[in-house]
Chains A and B, each alone.
Chain A
């Protein structure tokens, strides 16, 4: 059974979102997603300063099986990305919700929120067949 922390929000495309004290949000891929991808070998993260719209691909995660786009859950500007993943992509496998974070975003004022609660996301992945 996948780990779905109760203090985060989620997307249908398997990203997690954490609101930080300074108002920015941290984004990564879920434990369910890393498990489905298998051992990650390469991660491409966005440049700070990049403007994203909600649903736009912002990162690429490549495993021994596949390469997938990761979609921004929210519109805003990238304030930081996790450079450590270049040398250690497997951090996403071992710690998807911690050291495996991909980027931090300052949401644009108009950013609406169509994110899933932990319960909704848990139900989604249960339906997909975990």
Chain B
């Protein structure tokens, strides 16, 4: 099939067929005052050379800052082989081809991806990815409503230690489908959800509980207790997890006595570079008994007519091309190219490699927080263990200090004030395996200078 834009003759013959004189006439019903001749602020077209130069100049303005911001997107080393392989012509496509007769390589890769994610999360089955971590959480809430047949309330308890952007996205994705989100308060001393806070929900009809591990503050929640509390009350558990952390932490499939019911998260740490927030990809895994409630593509392994192993889309009856409005989801784009990179990344790292990345990130973060809290006026905000992120409190306003650090080429962390104003001047910092002791020393000494200047001012 040729994808060639319509010629003048094509357009004329189509207009003649429908008895219309011009394309303009098709838009007659749109009032003139609602039409725009041109978009304001959009400049004239530029050549590739001009655009290339402009972008190079803009990129130079960013410099190469030393980044200590995590908060949902993490800078990890990506072996050069990952994108060298992912961008081969056989894989490189803006769209994921699913035809079994033409796409065995892509389908096998997606099958391997699902196998790796199921193994990493400790769940029985994974889909072929979703749009991103935040929308995956929204989809998990919708799925929980379908899957939890003992609950009719569509009430979802969400820990306030879940990423604020995820909570907002879930409300956008699912809020118009009669789901009610209720926020579980966190303990400001410990930075996590106290099991005691759940008591007030005893005896109420709750559909699902959403918890993040490690949570937005990097802290480890008591996932076993939270999971068991929920299951004792017929509440499904949605686990939002960081895939790198699963090399060290207990996977959601093993939380509490029964394990979480649905595991989702952001796949970016697995071989996808930080790039203005995306494109990234979301992952989702669940129990086999609930696979028919799961959104998204699922690839299965089968035998062809000659008895050879082959791969194909499976369980398609859940999907929009068959079930239309009643599909498990109508917004479940998978991110084929990013998943390709992640699958190659995981293959290259192996379980031992991923564990080293996780352990190094944890060690660097401890080192970082140790160095920062030796600076006068800086202290750890919460008690208790963290993975590769931690909140520190400053004894003075944060914004001027962060500005001074940025001027020195250091992105000092995320200001928690926007989402958690009750914490006062609080900074969420992260160090992965990409940071050296010298980087950490540079940050600590710059912070000491900036704090001194701020005190003097």
Contact = CB atoms under 8 A, between A and B. Distances in A.
Task: Place the interface of chain B in its size category.
Answer: under 10
Given A42-B292, A44-B292, A67 B317 contact: yes
Interface string A39-65: 000101001000000000000001101
Contacts of A42: 292, 317
A62 B317 contact: yes
A66 B322 contact: yes
A81 to B, nearest CB: 11
Contacts of B318: 67
B240 to A, nearest CB: 27
B326 A66 contact: no
B292 A66 contact: no
Interface residues of A, number: 9
Given A47-B149, A62-B317, A69 B292 contact: no
A42 B293 CA distance: 12
A69 B317 contact: no
A76 to B, nearest CB: 18
Contacts of A67: 317-318, 322-323
A62 B292 contact: yes
Interface string B28-47: 00000000000000000000
A58 B42 CA distance: 53
Contacts of A65: 317
Interface in B304-330: 317-318, 322-323, 326
A115 to B, nearest CB: 25
A69 B149 contact: no
B329 to A, nearest CB: 14
A90 B170 CA distance: 38
Interface string A62-84: 11011101000000000000000
Interface in A17-44: 42, 44
B326 A69 contact: yes
B193 to A, nearest CB: 30
Contacts of B322: 66-67
Given A42-B292, A44-B292, A66 B149 contact: no
A62 B319 CA distance: 12
Contacts of A63: 317
B284 to A, nearest CB: 20
Interface string B144-162: 0000011000000000000
Most chain B beta carbons < 10 A, residue from A63, A66, A67, A69:
A67
A79 to B, nearest CB: 17
A65 B319 CA distance: 12
Most chain B beta carbons < 10 A, residue from A62, A63, A65:
A62
A76 B326 CA distance: 24
Contacts of B317: 42, 62-63, 65-67
A36 B322 CA distance: 15
Nearest to B291: A42
B328 to A, nearest CB: 10
A87 to B, nearest CB: 12
Contacts of B149: 47
B323 to A, nearest CB: 6
A69 B323 CA distance: 10
Interface in A67-114: 67, 69
Nearest to B152: A50
Nearest to A44: B292
Interface string B45-81: 0000000000000000000000000000000000000
A50 B150 CA distance: 10
Contacts of A62: 292, 317
Contacts of A44: 292
Interface in B362-413: none
Nearest to B317: A67
A42 B322 CA distance: 15
A44 B317 CA distance: 13
Nearest to B318: A67
Nearest to A46: B149
Nearest to B326: A69
Nearest to A63: B317
B294 to A, nearest CB: 13
A16 to B, nearest CB: 23
Nearest to A64: B317
16 contacts: A42-B292, A42-B317, A44-B292, A47-B149, A47-B150, A62-B292, A62-B317, A63-B317, A65-B317, A66-B317, A66-B322, A67-B317, A67-B318, A67-B322, A67-B323, A69-B326
Interface of B: 149-150, 292, 317-318, 322-323, 326
Question: Top 3 closest A-B pairs, CB basis?
Answer: A67-B317, A62-B317, A47-B149
